[in-house]
Amino acid sequence: MIIISDAPGQTCNRLWSYVGSVAQCIAQHKKMAILFFDETIEDFPSLLHCQHIYFPLWNKWFLEHFNGWKYYKGLTWRIKYKYNKSWNKISVILGFTNGWQTRSDYRYLQQAFPTLKLIFRPKEDIIRKANAMIEKLRKDSDLVIGVHIRRGDYAFWQNGRFFYELETYHQLMIKIVKLYKNYRVSFFISSNEEFSLDIFDNLKCERFGNEPSGAILDLYTLSICDRLIGPFSTYSRWASFIGEVPLCFIESENQQFAEDSFSKIIDFFHFENGKEIYDW
């Protein structure tokens, strides 16, 4: 049995940490265990109750009391060798797998992909809200472009290289409209930052407010758009992969767009067009 012991970063980091092993278990009819996920696990009922996967530390009552999420996060963070290297020896002896190191194992992704889409399908309430949002945008548009606006911690990550002002996103969206000048274009905005859509003058934009399960709601909605743009992130990368949606990473504030700028993510390190993604 594969036992994933680490819990890197936020939700989409974990999805990418697990998907290669899940694909292998599907292809080889094996079982696996994931010691820790996060609070969003209930947003993925097919994952939580998948016949291939066990969550041995999952106990809803305990996790919601006594700060259980923090305790389990601390346990698995240490298993990831963050603070005490002796955990490395223990994990090797116990046969644990560091999921973050399996991102390059995409041997079974294509074979298992139809089942992966079902396993990582969110709960019906999220699907219903996402579909309603996209249907609203499609009423008077031909293309719905998902825009992942990631700021916050990106002011410091990679020395702020991929932190862009809201006006920069505005100008990039205008470039998208010009690229698809023969289509009616609308935008779905995904961001955990509060701001008014009025800053995107003369563009048709929508976003969710403070919805429950907002991160997964936004993630699934991105996955059913027609195109995606956003800075380097496992978030938009996952939406492109699981939704088979062409994505273009924003690599600079002066980015130019062409139709071939967009391609689907097929694994953590590759676009469908063969372009490789640098491991930040």
Which domains occur in the chain, in start order?
A: 2-119 (no CATH), 124-271 (3.40.50.11350)
Q: Tell me the pairing of strands 265-267 and 2-4.
A: unpaired
pTM for the structure as a whole: 0.91
pLDDT confidence of residue 75: 58
User: Which CA distances in Å does 114 have to 46, 92, 123, 136?
Assistant: 13, 32, 17, 28
User: Which CA distances in Å does 29 have to 25, 44, 52, 235, 255?
Assistant: 5, 21, 8, 28, 44
pLDDT confidence of residue 229: 98
pLDDT confidence of residue 38: 78
pLDDT confidence of residue 81: 46
pLDDT in tens, the chain (280 residues): 899 888 777 889 999 999 999 999 999 999 999 987 777 888 999 999 998 899 987 777 777 766 666 666 655 555 554 445 666 676 777 788 888 889 999 999 999 999 999 999 999 999 999 999 999 999 999 999 999 999 888 888 877 788 999 999 999 999 999 999 999 999 999 998 889 999 999 999 999 985 555 899 999 999 999 999 999 999 999 999 999 999 999 999 999 999 999 999 999 999 999 999 987 6
User: Among positive and negative, which fits the CA dihedral 12, 80, 268, 50?
Assistant: negative
pLDDT confidence of residue 76: 57
Closest Cα to residue 24, out of 36, 16, 32?
Answer: 32
pLDDT confidence of residue 264: 98
pLDDT confidence of residue 211: 59
pLDDT confidence of residue 135: 97
pLDDT confidence of residue 83: 47
* Contact (CB, 8 A) for 201 and 170: yes
User: Which CA distances in Å does 131 have to 134, 164, 227?
Assistant: 5, 29, 16
User: Which CA distances in Å does 71 have to 36, 42, 62, 66?
Assistant: 10, 19, 10, 9
